[in-house]
């Protein structure tokens, strides 16, 4: 049997591979498995559920909400927000579980489901295996007051944006002209709002999702669009997000691409200068460019290399207390502020570095 869970949750063609029935079954099983594993803090567990703007996200989110509530989990429906926002809210609101419905940079017909446990961290492999093995089990069903309740929270975006802005040490990005390509994705509100809150002069492209246009000739997988816009408007910096905004690439004022390895190098040097780069080490993968290692060596910074995948980067960071890690694809983790890749957070810190130099 093919394993449902991949390196980043469950993904497939929406309504063919990833159906409403599967989304419901996954959610019910996840709630029970995590409960049995002692991952819930009390008898009324709480979940945060968000999605990207894909049309299929509406019915899949409804199925996830139904599954969790039927398993006795209270649910906050956060609507369209980035993947790292769900992870942050799980942690900040002391929730027991998070679910993000997104296929990230994949084409619009695809969708996916990603689970987070307490603290906003991805599920361990053995938990994912248990969920798969026991899907469809005849679970004991709560009744009466024990069923979960669902409520909508319109304040999630503002809370997340405030968190992003609070991570910056510089008081302002005033005078910095930034173009943000939101990929018609989950950060179409949070990305521009965070940069504008810091005073940046923001130009937004691909910031009008309609459920069908996510990643369509837009975002980090089509960075040529951003390159052209940065040059056209004379911007200082361009930020390209993907569909769920867990990664970003950048473009300088001349339209040159700044990839994930280059972003890591820039942020590592900045953190070292601030005495915030633990053990003077940055975490990258075996796919990182040799130039990263050379540049870091010139600045007295070590590079710890892991297997490909942001989960392995995070494992090394958590095990060793490292502050910064990421991949060439633009998944960058700043562990002081997040425990998953966050494209908007990364872009803000890149802009802050540019503003201060």
Give first-to-last CA distance, the chain, whole Å.
Answer: 54
Q: Where are the alpha helices (DSSP H) in the chain?
A: 20-36, 56-70, 83-92, 125-133, 156-166, 190-197, 224-233, 260-273, 290-298, 310-320, 343-356
Helix (H) or strand (E) holding 248: strand 248-252
Tell me the C-alpha to C-alpha distance, in Å, between residue 43 and each of 64, 77, 96, 146. 20, 20, 11, 9
Structure tokens, 241: 């997000």
Q: Answer yes or no: are the C-beta atoms of 189 and 226 closer than 8 Å.
A: no
Q: Which of 279, 280, 253, 127 is nearest to 178 (CA)?
A: 253
Structure tokens, 169: 């040490």
Answer yes or no: 104 catalytic.
yes
- Crossing angle, helix 83-92 and helix 343-356, to 10 degrees? 90
CA dihedral angle for residue 5, residue 10, residue 16, residue 21, rounded to 10 degrees: 90
Separation of alpha carbons 144 and 76, rounded Å: 19
Query: Tell me, what DSSP letter sits at residue 53?
Result: S
The single residue of 27, 56, 102, 104 carrying the catalytic annotation is 104
Cα angle for residues 8, 14, 17 (degrees, 5° grid) = 75
Residues classed as catalytic: 104
């Amino acid at each position: 049997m093919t394993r449902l869970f991949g390196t980043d949750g469950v993904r497939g063609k929406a309504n063919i591979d990833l159906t409403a029935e599967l989304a419901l079954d996954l959610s019910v099983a996840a709630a029970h498995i995590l409960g049995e594993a002692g991952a819930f803090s009390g008898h009324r567990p709480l979940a945060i559920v968000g999605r990207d703007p894909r049309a299929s996200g509406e019915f899949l989110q409804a199925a996830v909400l139904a599954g969790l509530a039927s398993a006795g989990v209270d649910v906050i429906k956060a609507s369209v927000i980035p993947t790292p926002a769900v992870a942050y809210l799980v942690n900040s609101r002391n929730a027991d579980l998070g679910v993000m419905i997104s296929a990230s940079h994949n084409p619009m017909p695809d969708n996916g489901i990603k689970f987070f446990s307490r603290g906003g961290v991805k599920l361990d492999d053995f938990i994912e295996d248990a969920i798969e093995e026991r899907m469809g089990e005849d679970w004991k069903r709560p009744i009466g007051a024990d069923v979960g309740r669902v409520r909508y929270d319109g304040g999630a975006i503002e809370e997340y944006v405030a968190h992003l802005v609070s991570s910056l040490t510089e008081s302002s990005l005033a005078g910095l002209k930034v173009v943000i390509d939101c990929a018609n994705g989950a950060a179409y509100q949070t990305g521009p709002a965070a940069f504008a809150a810091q005073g940046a002069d923001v130009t937004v492209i691909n910031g009008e999702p309609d459920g069908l246009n996510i990643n369509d000739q837009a975002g980090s997988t089509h960075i040529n669009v951003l390159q052209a816009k940065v040059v056209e408007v004379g911007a200082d910096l361009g930020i390209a997000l993907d569909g769920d905004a867990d990664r970003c690439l950048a473009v300088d004022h001349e339209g040159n691409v700044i990839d994930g390895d280059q972003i890591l190098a820039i942020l590592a040097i900045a953190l070292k200068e601030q005495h915030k780069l633990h053990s003077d080490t940055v975490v990258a993968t075996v796919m990182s460019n040799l130039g990263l290692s050379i540049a870091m060596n010139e600045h007295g910074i070590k590079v710890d290399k892991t297997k490909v995948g942001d989960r392995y980067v995070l494992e090394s960071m958590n095990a060793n207390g490292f502050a910064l890690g990421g991949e060439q694809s633009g998944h960058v983790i700043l562990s002081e502020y997040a425990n998953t890749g966050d494209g908007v957070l990364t872009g803000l810190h890149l802009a802050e570095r540019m503003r201060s130099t």
